[in-house]
Amino acid sequence: MLAFAAFVAGITVGTQYGVHTSALVDGARRRFLGPAFATCADIWQGYPLSPVYQVEDLELGKHPIPGLQHVTLHGFRQHGMRGFEVLQQTLAPGVATPVHEHNCQEVFLVLSGQATAAIRGKDGKVVESQIRTNSTFNILPNARHQLVNTGREDLTFIAIIDNLPLRPTFFKSFDDTSAGQTISPMLWDQQCPSAVPDSLRNFVTAPAASDASTEL
């Protein structure tokens, strides 16, 4: 009974925060992972659940690689995503991601451009595949990989990752046997947006169901 009351209280508080967040889950996560892992709930306060916003309005996320643009579409920290996170990244021509690995699955969908995807299999062999618009593939946990934009256009893709927050480890090469350099959590999961996206400011709230019913 007490658990149920706490659950309902959590939903009520969560609704006040507006978007994707329940104070109960946030509190549990903060206790488990520390204050750095709280969501950016304050930013979204007063906005409706699951708002629609435009990708072009979103702020760029931090990433250590020059020539790589990162946008968190639905993030662990920024939007309180649980289970998985959705990112969009753009690599300028000639730009490569570091050789890296992470303890999570990653699904890719290429929106535009051409590149080489190098992925190391369980047998230790690195397989290189040419990828282009509409190519889709997934990376298994801890499979070392790298994308290299070999084309003349930007490479833009969407990536979905699980086992949040992302803690990537970067290596000098596929043969690098060092422990590598881990960023935990990844830089974009350490940020909150500085403001709500413009497209969300213009969001028009529909009349509540109870208001509508009085007109019937």
Ligand X SMILES: *[C@@H]1O[C@H](CO)[C@@H](O)[C@H](O)[C@H]1NC(C)=O
Q: Which residues are annotated as part of the binding site for Zn(2+)? A: 100, 102, 106, 145
Number of residues assigned to the chain: 216
Q: Report the residue number, 57 or 153, with the smaller CB distance to ligand X.
A: 153
Give the annotated binding-site residues. Answer: 100, 102, 106, 145
At closest approach, how far in Å is the CB of 156 from ligand X?
Answer: 13
Beta strands in the chain (DSSP E): 68-74, 84-91, 99-101, 106-112, 114-120, 126-132, 136-139, 145-148, 155-162, 169-171, 181-182
Nearest C-alpha neighbor of 146 from the set 84, 65, 62, 85: 65
Residue nearest to ligand X (CB): 134
Nearest C-alpha neighbor of 156 from the set 187, 133, 128, 182: 133
Question: Of residues 50, 134, 205, 213, which one binds ligand X by CB under 6 A?
Answer: 134
At closest approach, how far in Å is the CB of 109 from ligand X?
Answer: 10
- 135 lies in the site for ligand X, by CB under 6 A: no
**Beta carbons of 96 and 147 less than 8 angstroms apart:** yes
Beta bridge partners of 161: 85, 106
Q: Report the residue number, 25 or 107, with the smaller CB distance to ligand X.
A: 107
Phi-psi region of 113 (alpha: psi -120 to 50; beta: other; left: phi over 0): left
At closest approach, how far in Å is the CB of 112 from ligand X?
Answer: 8
What x/- string results for residues 84 through 123 when contact with ligand X is judged by CB under 6 A? ----------------------------------------
Which amino acid would we find at residue 60?
Answer: L
At closest approach, how far in Å is the CB of 52 from ligand X?
Answer: 22
- 133 lies in the site for ligand X, by CB under 6 A: yes
Which residues here bind ligand X, judged by CB under 6 A? 133-134
